A and B are shown apart, each in its own frame.
Chain A
Amino acid sequence: MTETPLIGAYPAGPADAPLNGARIGVVTFPGTLDDRDAARAVRVSGATAVELWHGDSSLGGVDAVIIPGGFSYGDYLRAGAISRFAPLMGEIVKAATGGASSNPLPVLGICNGFQILTEAHLLPGSMIKNDHLKFLCRDQVLRVENNSTAWTNAYAAGQEITVPLKNQDGQYIADEKTLDALEAEGRVAFRYVGGNPNGSRRDIAGIANAAGSVVGLMPHPEHAVEAGYGPGHTGTDGRGFFTSVLNTLLGGK
């Protein structure tokens, strides 16, 4: 695989913690848009990005998986509904739920990836059309509500980060019982700050599974990992997702 050349300078991972050993899979479905950005975010954070195809029947031994954003299968049935049945998703669900394993595969679903994770029942609830019915694209402030997951441990609890948000079916919904359980178990990972952009219940922007290994969120941290390209052309707040999973994989967090 030829790596996409990185444009401009970027700092490598911390010198005292060699991160190059970690292999992070990035899944591409027909209609996925943000796989290249996600792979780039992985590399910028010091790990190796591994391309995965939805039709594959093997995860290729990756240490974690990112399901990136886009419009898989055009979202024509429901967002993420058809992708959920891809052969590779079966492998991801198996590895993420782990069976008897004490090391479930860390999985991050971003935007359409989050929708796919709910359709696959790796995360509860569902996503429907934004309450205002418009596609929305803007920089979004999020509060890190849970910094003990595999994908958020590089952040401080309560830290506010700014990453891009762009979606049409971004309204997170679940029944009251599920929402109460998510809150009680600390599984609300991110909440919108400064206004709810899509009518999501309880301002929820992202959630985690009970183990904290699977995280899904609507906004896009992979678009905020390089100075010069992120929010305000300087924001790199999204990088914490990718360094978090490296902490998890290499530090046994």
Chain B
Amino acid sequence: MPRIVVDVMLKPEILDPQGKAIVGALPRLGFTAFSAVRQGKRFELTVDGDVTDEILSQAREAAETMLSNPVIEDVVNVEVVADLP
């Protein structure tokens, strides 16, 4: 089944407490190269059949209205991924 992937990130100006906790923990495990971490969300919407323009636009609308909160989050990516073998 084809899937539509939606990626949502907190807006850059919004403090990401989870990301901050992760970046604080990384050096304790020896990962010292990373100065910042932002944690986002990935949604995979499975489609029965072909991904039409109509379905893609539904996915975009769902991403803007429900999957993200535009007050604090940006939809950074909506794309169709190939069928799994």
Contact = CB atoms under 8 A, between A and B. Distances in A.
Contact of B71 (A133, A171, A174): A174
B17 A131 contact: yes
Contacts, number: 36
Interface residues of A, number: 21
Contacts of A128: 10, 14-15, 17, 72
A226 interface: no
A173 B13 CA distance: 11
Interface string A61-99: 000000000000000011001100100000000000000
Interface string A238-252: 000000000000000
Interface in A92-151: 118-119, 124-126, 128-133
Interface of A: 77-78, 81-82, 85, 118-119, 124-126, 128-133, 171, 173-175, 199
B69 A129 contact: no
A128 B9 CA distance: 13
A174 B14 CA distance: 9
Query: Which of A78, A129, A171 gathers the greatest number of chain B CB atoms within 10 Å?
Result: A78
A81 B66 contact: yes
Closest 4 CB pairs of A and B: A126-B71, A126-B72, A129-B17, A133-B17
Nearest to B13: A175
Contact of B18 (A85, A118, A133, A199): A133
